[in-house]
């Protein structure tokens, strides 16, 4: 099934000039880049985006970090895109990430883990809508 999913290159990825490598990987994996924008997110925008994690011990660290520098938000489209993107990303903690995954290759620690990806169809729909109007997705 063709799906769309939200991907974010986090501040540690943009800071280390990894945008091209990560976007190339997605295209090589057969995804279309259906939308893409470099953005500086406000703390409030990040808090809304990660609302499901409110109350967790790492929430403040996560939201401060995600608003600390520019990110690249993208819509990836392709076969089974939601699960396949999660597989390409690898585990949340790079110590647990499989060989060849983006987080194994690039992530620094469980917080600065370089990429975000929607984890379910409902999350993908909400997260894509959070950043992109339908008219900005091609
Ligand atoms: P994922 O990004 O793999 O879906 P989660 O949704 O569980 O992971 O967490 C969202 C993000 O919060 C993670 O990608 C990571 O940046 C951060 N995070 C999760 N757990 C921790 C933790 N224990 N300490 C610091 N940051 C964390
Ligand atoms: Mg998640």
Question: How many other CB atoms are found less than 10 A from the CB of residue 56?
Answer: 11
Active site residue 116: yes
- Tell me the pLDDT tens digit for each residue of 1-47: 999 999 999 999 999 999 999 999 999 999 999 999 999 999 999 99
- The domain segmentation of the chain, as residue ranges, is 2-136
Q: How far apart are the first and last CA of the chain?
A: 18
* pLDDT for the residue 115: 99
Q: Which CATH number fits domain 2-136: 3.30.565.10, 3.10.105.10, 2.40.30.10, 3.30.70.141?
A: 3.30.70.141
- Tell me the pLDDT tens digit for each residue of 77-134: 999 999 999 999 999 999 999 999 999 999 999 999 999 999 999 999 999 999 999 9
The reply to whether ligand 1 has any atom less than 6 angstroms from the CB of 112 is: no
User: Burial code of 109-130, b = ≥16 C-beta within 10 A, e = fewer?
Assistant: ebbbbbbbbbeeeeebeebbee
Q: Which of 59, 62, 119, 126 to mutate to test the pocket of ligand 1 (most atoms within 8 A of CB)?
A: 62
């Amino acid at each position: 099934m063709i799906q769309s999913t939200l991907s974010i290159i986090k501040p540690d990825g943009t800071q280390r000039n990894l945008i091209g490598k990560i976007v190339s990987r997605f295209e090589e994996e057969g995804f279309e880049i259906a939308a893409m924008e470099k953005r500086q997110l406000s703390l409030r925008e990040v808090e809304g985006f990660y609302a499901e994690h409110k109350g967790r011990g790492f929430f403040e660290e996560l939201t401060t970090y995600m608003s600390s520098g520019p990110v690249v938000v993208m819509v990836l489209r392709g076969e089974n895109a939601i699960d396949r993107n999660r597989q390409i990303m690898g585990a949340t903690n790079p110590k647990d990430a499989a060989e060849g995954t983006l987080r194994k290759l690039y992530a620094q620690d469980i917080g600065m883990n370089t990429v975000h990806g929607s984890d379910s169809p409902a999350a993908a729909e909400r997260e894509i809508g959070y950043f992109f109007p339908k008219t900005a997705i091609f």
